[in-house]
A = this chain, B = another copy of it.
Amino acid sequence: MRRRRIVTRLGSGYGPGMKKLVLAAVVALSFPAFAQTSNQAERLRDSALNDEIAWDIVEGLTTEVGPRPAGTEAEARARDWALARLKALGFANVHVETYDMPVWVRGEERAEIVAPFPQRLVVTALGKSGATPAGGLTAEVVGFDTLAELEAAPDAAVKGRIVFVSHGMTATQDGSQYSYYGPVRRTAPSIAARKGAAAIVIRSLGTGYHRNPHAGTQTVAAGVTPIPAGALSLPDSDQLQRILKRGKKVTMRLTLTPRNLGLRQSGNVVAEVRGSDPQAGIVLVGGHLDSWDLGTGAIDDAAGVAITAAAAKRVMAAGRPRRTIRIVWFGAEEVGGPGSDAYLAAHKGEKIVFVSESDFGADRIWQMKPGFAAANSALAGRIEAALAPLGIGRGTDPAEAGADLGDWVKAGVAAVDLQQDGTRYFDWHHTPDDTLDKIDPGQLRQNVAAWTAMLSLVANAPEEIERKTPAP
């Protein structure tokens, strides 16, 4: 059934990538070892379409732990949960690697228009936000449609005021507007602080029209003391824009009382599928265990740790692979990456030959971006061929991995990105709405199937997996 579907898809013509695909298939068939790994990957892929492991992890972690902000007691409970679950799944070498990190926690949050049209707006503090007095601060609002307008504004236009930056991120399949508009969240608070603003509120860096603002961290520029910085939900941002357009002086009272708790312990949870050939290097995959505090972190990123662990478990169940597969459930991704920094520092001397990361929800994978040395183009082709029946095409950009494993790619390690559909992702990302009901079990299974096929091919590749650039 599944195989017939493949034939149909191939027969219907696959466009520009078709020639390469056929070539890869021919090559695979010409070399029995390659063909064997492809056959196994296809079998594992198809059975993974009935996967329950990933759902059980997402459901369990989001229900039994819920929100798990970095460095808090909840993240510690999540690590305990992860250790127990990974051991129960039969992985080897299950352990935590801890590190210390500065912890910031949310306090009270409230915004209200005092004049001319008194009403509450829904706000949430951005990570690392400064605090207002407990009773709030009241100031005139000055609005900017873009970050460039804020940057161009004279200090006098901003000083002592509450800056409001609106902008128009929209939903796209590849989620690329999150990068384009990202500076509004990441750098605007420091820009406003340098100009003497009392506080800043931004239109949430998101796409969902609900009264649920999007949290997220900021980059505090050197020498800047963070001012109170919040995100308004999209309906509230629209409302403030409409109010400002009336041309009257707009006054807001903003109350944000987050606190810095100093250094606390966080950690990465590690598990392995032991490989048969220690010389072949380690395949490193994962997602992150921490989440923002507002939701239960189902799409960000219980899904990612679940998908990668389920795929590794399925490869393990088919017999010991050639290469060790190491799963890392990173801590503290949401606050800027102390978990991935600690991991890289501790393990950069190891023979990590391949990395791949899942941190973009659980909607269906639509694109595979390979990031291999030229010598490994046949392996890329085998992965492409194995994923095509799942509706996954090959992208043109090179793999980058994400926040937790991107530095390995930059250092020259081979990688594959399995790109999820991001159309709905920024409706919920970093909001209270990131909850289990947003996970579609069928699409989650497609993710597991793609990851299982890819991991099986990479872990069992008979050829060596080369670096893209020579080791430094």
Residues of A within 8 A of B (CB): 59, 62-67, 74, 116-120, 122, 209-212, 234-235, 238-239, 242-243, 246, 294-296, 431-433, 435-438
A122–B434 Cα distance when bound, in Å, is 13
Partner of A437, one of B116, B209, B294: B209
| Neighbouring B residues of A239 by C-beta, 8 Å | 62-63, 66, 296, 435-436
> With A211-B435, A295-B211, A433-B210 known to touch, is A119 a contact of B238 (CB < 8 Å)?
no
**Is B243 a contact of A119 with CB atoms below 8 Å?**
no
A32–B431 Cα distance when bound, in Å, is 62
Max chain B Cβ within 10 angstroms of own Cβ: one of A235, A294, A433: A235
Partner of A242, one of B63, B74, B211, B294: B63
Q: How far is the CB of A425 from chain B (nearest CB, A)?
A: 15
**Is B235 a contact of A436 with CB atoms below 8 Å?**
yes
**Is A122 a contact of B432 with CB atoms below 8 Å?**
yes
A309–B238 Cα distance when bound, in Å, is 25
> With A212-B211, A212-B212 known to touch, is A435 a contact of B235 (CB < 8 Å)?
yes
Partner of A64, one of B63, B117, B238, B437: B117
| Neighbouring B residues of A119 by C-beta, 8 Å | 65-67, 74, 296
**Is B210 a contact of A117 with CB atoms below 8 Å?**
no
**Is A63 a contact of B243 with CB atoms below 8 Å?**
yes
A56–B204 Cα distance when bound, in Å, is 26
Please name the residue on chain B nearest to A73 by beta carbon.
Answer: B118
A212–B431 Cα distance when bound, in Å, is 12
Please name the residue on chain B nearest to A66 by beta carbon.
Answer: B119
Q: How far is the CB of A77 from chain B (nearest CB, A)?
A: 8
A360–B209 Cα distance when bound, in Å, is 20
Partner of A235, one of B234, B243, B433: B433
Given contacts A211-B212, A239-B296, A239-B436, 14 further A-B contacts (CB under 8 A): A63-B239, A63-B242, A64-B117, A65-B119, A122-B432, A209-B433, A210-B433, A211-B294, A211-B295, A211-B433, A211-B435, A212-B212, A235-B435, A239-B435
A235–B431 Cα distance when bound, in Å, is 13
| Neighbouring B residues of A212 by C-beta, 8 Å | 210-212
A246–B59 Cα distance when bound, in Å, is 12
| Neighbouring B residues of A65 by C-beta, 8 Å | 117, 119
**Is B59 a contact of A242 with CB atoms below 8 Å?**
yes
| Neighbouring B residues of A246 by C-beta, 8 Å | 63-64
**Is A432 a contact of B63 with CB atoms below 8 Å?**
no
A211–B438 Cα distance when bound, in Å, is 12
Partner of A432, one of B62, B211, B234, B294: B211
A243–B242 Cα distance when bound, in Å, is 42
**Is B117 a contact of A63 with CB atoms below 8 Å?**
yes
| Neighbouring B residues of A294 by C-beta, 8 Å | 211
Residue pairs across A and B with Cβ atoms less than 8 A apart, 21 shown, are: A63-B246, A64-B116, A65-B117, A66-B117, A66-B120, A74-B118, A74-B119, A119-B296, A122-B432, A210-B210, A210-B212, A210-B433, A211-B295, A211-B431, A211-B432, A211-B433, A211-B435, A234-B437, A235-B436, A235-B437, A239-B436
Please name the residue on chain B nearest to A245 by beta carbon.
Answer: B63
Max chain B Cβ within 10 angstroms of own Cβ: one of A63, A67, A296: A63
Q: How far is the CB of A277 from chain B (nearest CB, A)?
A: 42
A438–B209 Cα distance when bound, in Å, is 8
| Neighbouring B residues of A118 by C-beta, 8 Å | 66, 74
| Neighbouring B residues of A67 by C-beta, 8 Å | 119-120
A209–B424 Cα distance when bound, in Å, is 14
Q: How far is the CB of A243 from chain B (nearest CB, A)?
A: 6
| Neighbouring B residues of A295 by C-beta, 8 Å | 211
Please name the residue on chain B nearest to A428 by beta carbon.
Answer: B210
**Is A436 a contact of B211 with CB atoms below 8 Å?**
no
| Neighbouring B residues of A238 by C-beta, 8 Å | 435-437
Q: How far is the CB of A209 from chain B (nearest CB, A)?
A: 5
| Neighbouring B residues of A211 by C-beta, 8 Å | 212, 294-295, 431-433, 435
| Neighbouring B residues of A63 by C-beta, 8 Å | 117, 239, 242-243, 246
